[in-house]
Amino acid sequence: MQNTDPTTPPIDASRATARRQQILCAAAECFREYGFHAASIAKISSIAGMSPGHIYHYFENKEAIIAAIVAQDLESLMTMTAEFRAAANIRTALIERAAEGVADQLDPVSAGLKLEIVAEAARNPHVGQIVREADATCRRELAITIRDIRRTAGHEDSPAAIDDMVEVLACLFEGLLLRTIRNPGLDHSGVALRIQTAISDLLNQPT
């Protein structure tokens, strides 16, 4: 990856990466504003500050840009999920982090792109695969976290029961993406509190 010759500055790799990121950043902006299909290469290239043709030096085609955006967006979700497992007292950590998670989901700008991605996943097999694989990873992490919390509280659940709880937890978070579009005026802190209580109740459900 690194340039071994000291006489030539480390241009290539880092410059190319920066250029790629520049394109992805512009593409995300266009996708948010117009959607995947109405966002044209011409618009993306103009926002990225380069010619349309040059984009094809960094991405094979438009589909590859979409895939990269999707992967980038999901990566942030996965790191967030992984953070839960690192906490010492997991139950408290989960519920306290929930408020933060709720706030993230309620940002209408990023919510629009996330919804666009899932809608695309429903019909584009390539995007669908990326999304489903990332979701499976997140579910695995969340399942372990919930199992540990329930064990500490004295519940011994079947894996299927844990999976169902993961789904309900996911509904609470992901439902917010739709809510913030359908009702932009909702009370953020009030809803966050109610969701924290709902999560707490969920973790106390009978086996």
Residue 157, contacted partner among DNA, a copy of itself, none, CB below 5-8 A by kind: none
Please name the residue that has the structure tokens 């997140």: 138
Minimum distance, C-beta of residue 202 to DNA, in the bound complex (Å): 42
Q: Which of 39, 106, 113, 195 binds DNA (CB under 7 A)?
A: 39
Report H helices in 49-124: 52-55, 62-86, 90-105, 108-121
Q: Give, for 205, the enclosing helix (H) or strand (E).
A: none
Examine residue 202 and tell whether it contacts a copy of itself (CB under 8 A): yes
User: What type of residue sits at position 46?
Assistant: S
Spell out the residues 6+ positions from residue 174 whose beta carbon is closer than 8 angstroms to its own: 105
Examine residue 14 and tell whether it contacts DNA (CB under 7 A): no
Examine residue 131 and tell whether it contacts a copy of itself (CB under 8 A): yes
- Hey, how many other C-beta atoms are within 10 angstroms of the C-beta on 51? 11
User: Which parts of this chain interact with a copy of itself (CB under 8 A)?
Assistant: 32-38, 108, 111-112, 115-116, 118-123, 128, 131-132, 135-136, 139, 160-161, 163-165, 167-168, 170-179, 181-184, 186-187, 190-191, 193-195, 197-198, 201-202, 205-206
